[in-house]
Chains A and B, each alone.
Chain A
Amino acid sequence: MNGKKYAKDYTNLEMMATAAARQIKDYETVFVGTGLPMLASMLALYSHAPHAVILYESGYIGCKNIDTARIIGDIRLMYNLAQVTTMVDVLGLLQTGRIDVGFLGGAQIDKYGNINATTIGDYHRPKVRLPGSGGAGDIAALARRILIITIHEKRRFPEKVDYLTSVGWIDGPEGRKKAGLNWGGPDKVITDLAIMGFDEKTKQMKIESIHPGKTIEEVQEKTGFKLIIPKEIPTTEPPTVEEIKILREKVDPTGFFLIRRLKD
């Protein structure tokens, strides 16, 4: 076919990380949020995007760490680093529009790609109190485009988020403009089942490709709103042998992300 050697033995999580990593292009500046974006961005850096500039709100710019960072302020990121700066400085880069990609996880994501990381239920007396925005609200508002990576579960994809922490398309194609945001917006949502994008006209979520072995029915079943389903949906390209090797041996050799979140 294309001469690539595809892996036969890989987990759902590895499929998701690979699909997400491939969304990052070489030479892009990528502002990374906590969780799975940390895994996927390092895979991109160590595979097809060696010149990508990885930034963290903790002040790290140009990360090429050799030990797996477990949190976004991990001092492992200090090693082999281009610059360490302050939060004012690094978050200011976002506000000036100089960051290509914001890469986020999310507790709840709605059909317009808005993210909730604050409260489930009433804000003042919530059913579940989540951590709050952190830098995610800033990244979602101010990066040029947003990638979201999350496990595909119905509770994570409600029709409308309980609290709008991080702006997606807000309520449609004019939503961001009306709010005063002149650029940005969610581009792709990558899960363990599929890659989703946003319909050009309505800015509502649509299926773009389904991972090998998964079905459209399963994706829709595990989504709390009606997805836009195009007539032809390709299968996501599976991970290559090389990508899996990099993930397991270079990005996360101790299995911090790859083992603990395994839900196959």
Chain B
Amino acid sequence: MGTHEIEDKLKTMQEAVKMIPDGSSICCPSFGYEKVSFAFIRELIRQRKRNLYLYGSGMNVDADMLIGAGCISKAEIGHIGFENIGLAPCFRRAVQEGKLEVEDYTNFIMTMRFWAGMMGLPFIHMKSGLGSDIPKTVGKDKFREFLCPFTGEKLILYRAVNPDFTIIHVQRVDEEGNAHVDGPLYDNVEKAKSAKTLIVTCEEIVTSEFVRRSPEKTMIPGFLVKAVVEVPFGAHPYACYKYYDYDWEHIEYYAREAADPEKFQKYLEEYIYSVEDNWGYLKKIGIEKILKLRANTSLGYSTYYRSLVRRKI
């Protein structure tokens, strides 16, 4: 029998990360630099986890940092890059130097593999991948070519994914562990529900009475949640819709530093190893930046970037 009381689920970040043994498979849902449990990722790095197996669809700085810090030995991905900033430097280095094994899928394939996992199915059949090199480079036990028995259409079967642990970040969790979310869900529900163990980090703990006033925002019911960690600004340098914006300057700073292995180590030292927890990290970011990133109530994001005009044409 599971427990449904928050008192039993509420953990410190250190305790929650200790639940993850070396060698586990993990998924830290990320999309659009938003609602990623970055504080959890930083604690994974701080506790020097090793040989983790990473599952994800569209990933960015989060995956790059975990890979650079040496936490990941293999990854099944849709994408790891910084979009309009450029390539992911640690990911690029690790693959080029043969230190990271990768299986490439598309975002849709990964999303549907999690969906199959969530639905208790062993595989999903899709059109994505047809004609491309993707089926040629994934593991032989991960896909099958397949003809539809009803229509004769060519399809590809992909193995379901069930990570040992999924860690999501949401705006609010209530006393029952219900995860209450504003804004996009991406493929976070599929990633959360396909996991064998689900850990939720949140901006704030709220009353169940509050959640029950808008149950349509409950993304995950409390009985599926194993552990809860309260960690304000826990997604920084990413955004948390209606709470704060992404820290674009910090992300660009990271991209520059991570391009050089020595500078990347200095970054980890400065922002992760030398501080005890997320409060220590936020002190480094500074109160002024944090207030600038605070979401404008009428927009859901900050107006800070409107003032940063690169230069007149």
17 examples of A-B residue contacts, CB within 8 angstroms? A34-B83, A59-B185, A73-B58, A126-B96, A128-B92, A129-B92, A130-B87, A132-B78, A132-B79, A132-B104, A134-B78, A134-B107, A135-B79, A165-B104, A180-B154, A253-B306, A259-B313
List the A side residues contacting B38 at CB < 8 Å: none
Q: Is A12 an interface residue (CB 8 A)?
A: no
Q: Is the CB of B189 within 8 A of A71?
A: no
Q: Is A179 an interface residue (CB 8 A)?
A: yes
Docked complex Cα distance between A124 and B109 (Å): 21
Q: Is the CB of A142 within 8 A of B128?
A: yes
Q: Is the CB of A138 within 8 A of B80?
A: no
Q: Is the CB of B96 within 8 A of A72?
A: no
Q: Is B203 an interface residue (CB 8 A)?
A: no
Query: Given that A133-B79, A134-B81, A164-B132 are known contacts, is A180 also in contact with B313, CB under 8 Å in the complex?
Result: no
Q: Is the CB of A75 within 8 A of B301?
A: yes
- Closest beta carbon of chain B to A249's beta carbon, Å: 10
9 closest A-B pairs by beta carbon, nearest first, are: A73-B32, A131-B81, A180-B154, A179-B131, A134-B79, A137-B106, A255-B310, A138-B108, A129-B95
Q: Interface 1/0s, chain A 74-111, versus B by CB < 8 A?
A: 11101100001011100100110000000000000000
Q: Is the CB of A87 within 8 A of B187?
A: yes
Docked complex Cα distance between A123 and B78 (Å): 15
Q: Is A258 an interface residue (CB 8 A)?
A: yes
Given contacts A131-B87, A137-B108, 15 further A-B contacts (CB under 8 A): A73-B34, A75-B300, A79-B300, A79-B301, A84-B184, A88-B115, A95-B108, A123-B133, A129-B91, A132-B80, A133-B79, A138-B108, A142-B127, A164-B133, A253-B306
Q: Is the CB of A78 within 8 A of B106?
A: no
Docked complex Cα distance between A11 and B308 (Å): 21
Q: Is the CB of B134 within 8 A of A71?
A: no
Q: Interface 1/0s, chain B 103-146, versus A by CB < 8 A?
A: 01111110110010000000000111111111001000000000
The main secondary structure of chain A at its interface with chain B is loop
Docked complex Cα distance between A135 and B58 (Å): 8
Q: Is the CB of B131 within 8 A of A58?
A: no
Q: Is A172 an interface residue (CB 8 A)?
A: no
Give the bracket for the number of chain A residues in contact with chain B.
35 or more
Q: Is A254 an interface residue (CB 8 A)?
A: yes
Query: Given that A73-B32, A73-B184, A133-B107 are known contacts, is A127 also in contact with B96, CB under 8 Å in the complex?
Result: yes
Q: Is B57 an interface residue (CB 8 A)?
A: yes
Q: Is B88 an interface residue (CB 8 A)?
A: yes
Q: Is A6 an interface residue (CB 8 A)?
A: no
Docked complex Cα distance between A131 and B77 (Å): 10
A210-261 contacts to B (CB < 8 Å): 248, 253-260
Docked complex Cα distance between A4 and B87 (Å): 40
Residue of B nearest to A176 (CB): B131
Give the bracket for the number of chain B residues in contact with chain A.
35 or more
Residue of B nearest to A142 (CB): B127
Q: Is A192 an interface residue (CB 8 A)?
A: no
Identify B95's interface contact among A67, A71, A72, A126, CB under 8 A: A126
Q: Is the CB of B115 within 8 A of A75?
A: no
- Closest beta carbon of chain A to B60's beta carbon, Å: 8
- Closest beta carbon of chain A to B32's beta carbon, Å: 1
Docked complex Cα distance between A133 and B34 (Å): 20
Q: Is B311 an interface residue (CB 8 A)?
A: yes
List the B side residues contacting A118 at CB < 8 Å: 104, 133
Docked complex Cα distance between A260 and B301 (Å): 23
Q: Is the CB of B301 within 8 A of A76?
A: yes
Q: Is the CB of A259 within 8 A of B78?
A: no
Q: Interface 1/0s, chain B 68-94, versus A by CB < 8 A?
A: 000000000111110110011001100
B200-257 contacts to A (CB < 8 Å): 239, 241, 245, 248
Q: Is B273 an interface residue (CB 8 A)?
A: no
Residue of B nearest to A33 (CB): B83
Q: Is A170 an interface residue (CB 8 A)?
A: yes
Identify A73's interface contact among B33, B129, B309, CB under 8 A: B33
- Closest beta carbon of chain B to A90's beta carbon, Å: 9
Query: Given that A75-B34, A131-B80, A165-B133 are known contacts, is A125 also in contact with B98, CB under 8 Å in the complex?
Result: yes
Q: Is the CB of B77 within 8 A of A132?
A: yes
Q: Is the CB of B186 within 8 A of A73?
A: yes
Docked complex Cα distance between A62 and B232 (Å): 32
